Amino acid sequence: MTADTPHNFADLGMPFPLFEAPVVDATGFDQKGDCTVCGARRCAVFKARGEVDVVACYACLRAGRAPWTKFTEFGFVDAEHAAQGITHGTNSPPWPALGYDVVPHPENPASSGERWYSVRIAREHLEELLRTYSTWQGESWRFCCHQPAIFIGCWGIERWTDAARERGVEVAELIGEALDLRPKETSELCTWLGDGRGSLSTYVFRCASCRRLRGHHDAT
């Protein structure tokens, strides 16, 4: 990244309350494209993963005119679910002991005892999530303190090391807690994790309330 390269979307005059990641982590962003929603041409546009026909400019995305679906750890969220203040659902719900209100889906006799649950999240938080740009990491958007967390980027081991130093904890401890990994899994990830943009990547979120780090990882 050069001195002339914008660090994040706020530097471009297009801030997202839930997306503070560097522009380099935003695949599907084009500074000179055509908006298929309002017809604006040669403007900055965003394209969500899996969305073939919808390429939205910043104004359309922030106004809620881009009909994208967000995939989260509690199931997908679309405009219909956001209006109800619930996620579509998960079969691994955050039980009420964690402070979340869950809504059981009707039992399906063909599911061999598997039960799905929607999770209640305030409507305004889910609507904000739908007005947020989502790159391919967004298939598992994280929540904390009853709201969507802020995506802060694809982290390699150096970023994790800096964050652990700032928080006064060990790197493995921070990664294990943020990604909900067992000690052996954490050790293996630390061994193979490079700059965060290689074959193994971690996608990191920060809670807007308690500042806890959360995230997930995958191998491409």
Strand partners, 201: 218
Mean pLDDT of 70-92: 94
Task: Evaluate whether residue 179 is within a structural domain.
Answer: no
Strand boundaries in 52-158, DSSP class E: 56-57, 102-104, 117-119, 143-144, 147-148, 150-155
pLDDT tens per residue across span 126-141: 999 999 987 655 568 9
Tokens linked to 158:
């150096």
The answer on pLDDT for 6 being more than 60 is no
Task: Evaluate whether residue 170 is within a structural domain.
Answer: no
Which domain does 60 fall in, by range?
Answer: 11-156+194-219
Position 51 scores a pLDDT of 63
Task: Evaluate whether residue 204 is within a structural domain.
Answer: yes
Q: Residue 32: is it exposed, middle or buried by C-beta count within 10 angstroms (0-12/13-18/19+)?
A: exposed
Mean pLDDT of 38-44: 96
The answer on pLDDT for 122 being more than 70 is yes
Mean pLDDT of 25-48: 91
The answer on pLDDT for 36 being more than 90 is yes
The answer on pLDDT for 3 being more than 50 is no
Task: Evaluate whether residue 165 is within a structural domain.
Answer: no
Confidence of residue 207 (pLDDT cuts 50, 70, 90): very high
Task: Evaluate whether residue 107 is within a structural domain.
Answer: yes
The answer on pLDDT for 2 being more than 80 is no
Position 139 scores a pLDDT of 62
**What percent of the chain is predicted at pLDDT more than 90?**
67
Count up the domains in the chain and report the number: 1
Task: Evaluate whether residue 169 is within a structural domain.
Answer: no
Task: Evaluate whether residue 162 is within a structural domain.
Answer: no
Q: Which of 4-13, 19-28, 179-188 is the least confident region?
A: 4-13
Which parts of the chain fold into alpha helices (H)?
58-62, 79-84, 123-130, 157-167, 171-179, 183-192
Position 56 scores a pLDDT of 94
Tokens linked to 193:
């994790």
Task: Evaluate whether residue 6 is within a structural domain.
Answer: no
Q: What does pTM read for this prediction?
A: 0.90
